[in-house]
Amino acid sequence: MSIPDKATSLALLREMMVIRDFEETADKLSLRGKVSGGMHNSSGQEAVAVGVLSALDKFDVIASTHRSHHHTLAKGFTPREIMAELFTRATGISGGRGASMHLGDVERGHFGGNGIVGAGVGIAMGAALGIQQKGDKKVSVGFVGDGGMNTGRTWEAINMAVIWKLPLIVIVDNNQYAVETFVGRVTGGGDLAKRAEGFGMKAFNIDGMDVLEVRKYTSEARARALAGEGPTFINALTYRYYGHNVGEKGQYRTLEEIEQWRTTKDPIDRFIKVVLDAGYASQAEVDELRASVRAEIEDAVAFADSSPEPDVSTIYDDVDSGMLGVQL
Amino acid sequence: MTTTTTTTTAKVQNPSYSEAFQSGVREEMTRNPGIFILGTDLIERGGHFAQVKGIAQEFGHERVKDSPISEAAMVAAGVGAAMYGCHPIVDLNFIDFAFGAMDEILNQAAKIRFMFNGKVPLVIRATSGVALGGAHHCNSLEALFASTPGLSVAVPSTPMDVKGLIKTALRAEDPVIFLMHKKLSGIRGEIAGENYFVPFGKAKSVREGKDAAIISYGYSIVTAQKAAQALEAEGISVEIIDLRTLFPLDEEAINNAVKKYGRVVVLDEAPVFGSITAEIAATATERNFSSLKGPIVRVGGVRAPISANPAMADAAIPTVASIMTAVKKVMSY
Amino acid sequence: MEEIFVPALGMAMDNVVLLEWLKQPGDQVNAGDIIAVIETDKTTLELTSETSGVLGKHKYAVEDEVPAGDTLCVVLAPGEVEA
């Protein structure tokens, strides 16, 4: 696979490092009670987020899942505003109303993380319909986990995208476990891309631990969507290193399995090797990059910690527009 | 036997309830290219109540999108497109079909503005109310929607209000549940021109009275008027207030009725337990207890699914007789 | 220095109860040793040290309610002293 230029490659690497550091830092803070309602750690899944988002335009739309920090960071939101949201502070991207599970800003093309499995694909499909109705040259990406592969509405949305040739890319951020349920145990037919093909969708099973592979397939899907060729389904096989939620100590998979994925398939380690082999950076420069990421995340924590709480009296703001009672 | 459908071109009568909806939608679609309709069976029959008949032919299939029977995806399509900047009308035909999209309505559409710095200008239109058709097509879900923060609910009872309310809904930034009663589909009446808008949260007095008030909405307004006429013959003069929207709810009109008469009946078809009538009675009692001459009486549906048998279906909802009994009860205080 | 603390878990856990201390101040601690046992609204949890060292002061007593996120004690590395 061809390697992007030096600046792009280092940006991909740095973004994956940002996600990993952000998640591991936030996880610890969550255990200390800093994150209201807890959080879902995406460590291990960096290549899916960075591969997809780096292949999109900043004006493309995404809708995400309950595990959305990595998508949101890769979309270009800063660690500061996301950490502040996790701390439910006024400076967070949802003003403290969403926390970990409900990160979003419609005006910036992020149609929301989602507490409900499968909901994001439907909303992304709707955004794709909006793009088509307006004749815009954009795409919409709906992230869904493997758990969302067995909820009916995901396939309702996929069918609709196919029949209307919507500019939608469905990304299965397939970390293989829906909480404690292994995808292979609950997925009839087994092959997710084949399932999507059955709906008439262009579909691929890919290596979700390889940022360049994810980027390539997303880029091609985007080009097809912009050419009016309709939606694409990408099942990106990946792995989450931590529990479903912070503090989970599950017995549903072995420590050996986790260790094996971490040591042989880690998306950051693999891509560091690519960068080193290409001569884009020395080991010392990679270490410097990591140190700069560390500083950025520490700064994000300090920012979040020192940010004001939202004013409770704003609780009624933006429940609705208040317009409907007004004589036009 | 065979039947033949004929099309009349000459309009000798006032428009029907469904035609009033068409009229409002047509005007707004002409004005705003971002409005489109999405639903099932909208092209040829124009929806199961002919509510959008002719619009696909006039505006094209891109603006009246023929959908598969996928309620969750239909509403999700509307939500996402609304967030993107369109103003979709998702037509569910029957409100009972909303059960297949309840997360999209209650958990997604209703909450996006609050959390995600975005707007959801979306109309979900459906026919509701108790009629023939049995348990699966006769649910009264309005209290569920009206009690969900972020949603507004319109329940017009006349062609005039249908048009005025849908036009307002299509100028708003919020998700609106637009409920049209089955038994009103064919009623006829005047409609206003393109600059007439009915604001949400403004009830309308549809009958003057001297002794008591009936507060209601939808098809129950028709039943209430029959009861009021019969009561008039017995010397009891009843005002009828048509709420027109359930959220926003016109609390001022309700309070004024309580203060004016002290004798109030609240009426609808939904099972009374946890209903809009419960909400109105509780709120009015809290706010204006001292104005009441006695308890507010609620008249509503029984706690049973709606039967297909016509007599059993009638027995499940208020009748002229049960409304008269309720009014006489408040008059006895 | 490693802090042994009550982890904040779940959506509705306010306080937990300290059930038992398995190490006393000044005790030698090895990585993997259970330091304390707490009871949450769902389960009992054993809190384990990840490092070796000497146990510092107990900041709570058995049967105390402890807010989620609070530190119960520290494990001091060689040369470290407790603040």
Q: What are the pLDDT tens digits along chain A (328 aa)? A: 789 999 999 999 999 999 999 999 999 999 999 998 889 999 999 999 999 999 999 999 999 999 999 999 999 999 999 999 999 999 999 999 999 999 999 999 999 999 999 999 999 999 999 999 999 999 999 999 999 999 999 999 999 999 999 999 999 999 999 999 999 999 999 999 999 999 999 999 999 999 999 999 999 999 999 999 999 999 999 999 999 988 887 889 999 999 999 999 999 999 999 999 999 999 999 999 999 999 999 999 999 999 999 999 999 999 998 877 554 5
The pLDDT of residue B2 is: 65
The pLDDT of residue A322 is: 85
Does residue B330 or residue B8 have the better pLDDT?
B330
C-chain CB neighbours of A26 within 8 Å are: none
In B, minimum Cα distance to A62 occurs at: B80
For chain B, which domains are there? 17-184 (3.40.50.970), 204-331 (3.40.50.920)
Helices (H), A32-149: 46-53, 69-74, 79-86, 119-134
Structure-token pair, residue A22:
């952000």
Are residues B80 and A111, on separate chains, in Cβ contact within 8 Å?
A: yes
What are B154-173's pLDDT values in tens digits?
A: 999 999 999 999 999 999 99
- Closest by Cα among B299, B285, B295 to B254: B285
CA dist B191 and B159 (Å) reads: 6
Cα dihedral sign, A274-A278-A284-A288: negative
In A, minimum Cα distance to C4 occurs at: A32
- Count other Cβ atoms within 10 Å, centred on residue A204: 17
Q: Would you say residue C49 lies in a domain?
A: yes
CA dist B31 and B34 (Å) reads: 9
Contacts of A228 (CB under 8 A, 6+ apart): A165
Backbone φ, ψ for residue A229 (5° rounding): -90, 5
Cα dihedral sign, A200-A201-A206-A208: negative
Q: Would you say residue C82 lies in a domain?
A: no
Structure-token pair, residue B80:
């996402």
Q: Would you say residue C22 lies in a domain?
A: yes
DSSP state of A139: -
Q: Would you say residue C58 lies in a domain?
A: yes
Structure-token pair, residue B185:
């589909």
Residue span of the structural domain in which C42 resides = 2-7+15-76
Mean pLDDT of B242-247: 97
What DSSP line would sit under C4-53, residue for residue?
EE----SSS--EEEEEEESS-TT-EE-TT-EEEEEE-SS-EEEEE-SS-E
DSSP state of B42: -
Q: Which of C3, C9, C13 best probes binding to A when mutated, by most A CB atoms within 10 angstroms?
A: C9
Extents of the domains making up chain A: 6-306
Contact A47, A261 (CB under 8 A): no
C-chain CB neighbours of A38 within 8 Å are: 8-11
Mean pLDDT of B120-147: 96
pTM of the model: 0.94
Q: Indicate if B87 belongs to the active site.
A: no
Chain B: give the shortest CA distance to residue A89, in Å: 13
The pLDDT of residue B5 is: 58
Structure-token pair, residue B217:
């909405």
Backbone φ, ψ for residue B94 (5° rounding): -110, 140
The helix or strand, by DSSP H or E, that contains position B114, with its residue range, turns out to be helix B112-116
In A, minimum Cα distance to B198 occurs at: A327
Radius of gyration of chain C (CA): 12
Contact A117, A65 (CB under 8 A): yes
Q: Does A138 touch chain B (CB under 8 A)?
A: no
Chains with ≥3 CB–CB distances under 8 Å to A: B, C
The pLDDT of residue C14 is: 67
CA dist A156 and B72 (Å) reads: 7
Q: Would you say residue C83 lies in a domain?
A: no
- Closest by Cα among B263, B274, B264 to B243: B264
The pLDDT of residue A316 is: 93
CA dist B41 and B48 (Å) reads: 7
CATH code: domain of residue C23: 2.40.50.100
Contacts of A142 (CB under 8 A, 6+ apart): A62, A63, A120, A121, A122, A123, A124, A125, A157, A168, A169, A170, A171
**Res B8 pLDDT > 60:** no
CA dist B222 and B237 (Å) reads: 16
**Residue at token pair 């710095």:** B117
**Res B96 pLDDT > 70:** yes
The pLDDT of residue C43 is: 80
Are residues A133 and B36, on separate chains, in Cβ contact within 8 Å?
A: yes
Are residues A38 and C9, on separate chains, in Cβ contact within 8 Å?
A: yes
- Count other Cβ atoms within 10 Å, centred on residue B290: 8
- The one-letter code for the residue type at A75 is K
Strands B297-301 and B204-207, sheet pairing: unpaired
Q: Which of B48, B61, B87, B137 is catalytic?
A: B137
Contact A193, A31 (CB under 8 A): no
pLDDT band at C44 (very low <50, low <70, confident <90, very high): confident
Structure-token pair, residue B62:
């891109």
The beta-carbon neighbor of A326 closest among B77, B104, B199 is B199
The pLDDT of residue A328 is: 52
**Res C11 pLDDT > 80:** no
Under the phi-then-psi rule, with left for phi > 0, alpha for psi from -120 to 50, and beta for the rest, what region is B201? left
- Using an 8 Å CB-CB cutoff, list residues of chain C that contact chain A: 5, 7-11, 67-69
* Angstrom distances, CA of residue B111 to CA of B74, B119, B216, C4: 18, 10, 28, 39
The pLDDT of residue A14 is: 98
pLDDT band at B11 (very low <50, low <70, confident <90, very high): low
Complex ipTM value = 0.95
Are residues B72 and A159, on separate chains, in Cβ contact within 8 Å?
A: no
Interhelix angle A119-134/A152-163, rounded to 10 degrees, is: 20
Q: What is the CATH number of domain A6-306?
A: 3.40.50.970
C-chain CB neighbours of A37 within 8 Å are: 11
B-chain CB neighbours of A124 within 8 Å are: 80
Are residues A126 and B83, on separate chains, in Cβ contact within 8 Å?
A: yes
Q: Does A316 touch chain B (CB under 8 A)?
A: no
- Closest by Cα among B50, B79, B73, B54 to B64: B54
- If one counts the domains in chain C, the total is 1
The pLDDT of residue A246 is: 87
- Closest by Cα among B269, B235, B241 to B257: B241
The pLDDT of residue B106 is: 98
**Residue at token pair 């490693």:** C2
Structure-token pair, residue A49:
């987020």
In the three-class reduction of DSSP (H, G, I as helix; E, B as strand; rest coil), residue B68 is classed as coil
Interhelix angle B276-288/B251-261, rounded to 10 degrees, is: 60
The helix or strand, by DSSP H or E, that contains position A28, with its residue range, turns out to be helix A6-31
- Closest by Cα among A278, A86, A280, A253 to A183: A253
In the three-class reduction of DSSP (H, G, I as helix; E, B as strand; rest coil), residue A187 is classed as coil
**Residue at token pair 């209201």:** A36
B-chain CB neighbours of A109 within 8 Å are: none
Mean pLDDT of B268-284: 96
- The one-letter code for the residue type at A146 is D
- Closest by Cα among B259, B255, B263 to B284: B255
The pLDDT of residue B191 is: 96
pLDDT band at B12 (very low <50, low <70, confident <90, very high): low
In the three-class reduction of DSSP (H, G, I as helix; E, B as strand; rest coil), residue B162 is classed as helix
Chain A residues 58-87 within an 8 A CB cutoff of chain B = 61, 63
B-chain CB neighbours of A319 within 8 Å are: 113-114, 149-150
Contacts of A295 (CB under 8 A, 6+ apart): none
Are residues A105 and B107, on separate chains, in Cβ contact within 8 Å?
A: no
What percent of chain B shows pLDDT beyond 90?
95
Q: Does A139 touch chain B (CB under 8 A)?
A: no
**Res B7 pLDDT > 90:** no
The pLDDT of residue A324 is: 79
Burial class from Cβ neighbours inside 10 Å (0-12, 13-18, 19+) for residue B301 reads buried
Strands A61-63 and B35-39, sheet pairing: unpaired
Contact B177, B183 (CB under 8 A): no
Burial class from Cβ neighbours inside 10 Å (0-12, 13-18, 19+) for residue A291 reads exposed
Q: Would you say residue C27 lies in a domain?
A: yes
**CA-based angle A199:A200:A205, to the nearest 5?**
85
CA dist A154 and A169 (Å) reads: 13
Structure-token pair, residue A211:
């940022």
The pLDDT of residue C34 is: 96
CA dist A125 and A159 (Å) reads: 10
What's the length of chain C? Answer: 83
The beta-carbon neighbor of A321 closest among B79, B151, B174 is B174
- The one-letter code for the residue type at A45 is Q
Sheet holding C15-21, edge to edge: C44-48, C34-39, C15-21, C65-67
CA dist A37 and A98 (Å) reads: 10
